[in-house]
Amino acid sequence: MKILVINPNTSAAMTEAIAQASREAASPGTEIVAVNPSFGPLSIEGHFDEAWGAAGVAEQAHLARAWQPAATVIACFGDPGLNAAREALRGPVIGIAEAAFQAASMVAEGFSVVTTMTRTCGIAEHLVQRYGFEHQCRGVHGTDIAVLSLEDCPPETVAQIEDAARQALARDRSSAIVLGCAGMAPLCRLLTQRLGVPVIDGVSVAVKWGESLAALGLHTSKAGDYAHPLPKTYLGWAKPYGWSSE
């Protein structure tokens, strides 16, 4: 099967790192197709960035109609454009924040989120509420590490993330860590070894769940809110992405 992994920012280096983490999680025979939008921010670190990232996800989901992936992963912790992609595509579409929260709630009584910029903590907290994990998530902690610094991720950056995770575990009395950025995916195994608790990378979880849902023959229902968009004309640079009847 083919799984589409959409990095909503436009960093090619981060897209490749996310692709590698996805391939390591995928089963033999699963092909990972990792893409990023043709426009938008190099990193997503706030609501304005996220709005453009969501549009970029819609662009890539629209393009993927030509081959209909078995499943799709939205590889940004804000889950931007998730519902738009679910409207556009037939296969299951999974956001990494939703996947990570679900997985953490199954392996720990309570979990903490360690993310990048403190200014994005509110976005993560809103998702915790939206997905119904207020009782399991005991805290969301920013490190003020710029997203693009994760492309190279020098030892001092890894140490900063590890220190934030240790403090979160103690302060929140939690027993698992959710990594709040797709760019942190390559650090999952290392941090699990160092911290001695489950460390959840939403990219890997979303890929495995995408495989499982596709193998079960499940798809996104088109009978309700995720019905295909209504045919209409788009103007300006968005003209090619207006929906046409299938």
> Domain tally for the chain?
2
Letter string b/e over residues 13-28, b meaning 16 or more CB atoms within 10 A of that residue's CB: ebbebbbebbeebbee
CA 7 to CA 43: how far, in whole Å? 10
pLDDT at position 152 is 87
228-244: average pLDDT? 91
Q: Which two tokens stand for residue 5?
A: 């992994």
Q: What is the CATH number of the domain that holds 122?
A: 3.40.50.12500
Question: Among residues of the chain, what percentage have pLDDT more than 70?
Answer: 99
Mark whether 55 and 120 lie in a shared domain: no
Q: Which two tokens stand for residue 123?
A: 């976005």
Mark whether 134 and 185 lie in a shared domain: yes
Domain enclosing residue 22, as ranges: 2-96+205-241
Mark whether 40 and 51 lie in a shared domain: yes
Mark whether 115 and 195 lie in a shared domain: yes
Q: Tokens 């805290």, residue?
A: 139
Read out DSSP for 181-223? SGGGGGGHHHHHHHHSS-EEEHHHHHHHHHHHHHHTT----SS
Q: Indicate whether 146 belongs to any domain.
A: yes
80-96: average pLDDT? 98
pLDDT at position 161 is 97
Mark whether 101 and 184 lie in a shared domain: yes
Mark whether 91 and 105 lie in a shared domain: no
Mark whether 84 and 160 lie in a shared domain: no
Q: Indicate whether 6 belongs to any domain.
A: yes
65-74: average pLDDT? 97
pLDDT at position 246 is 56
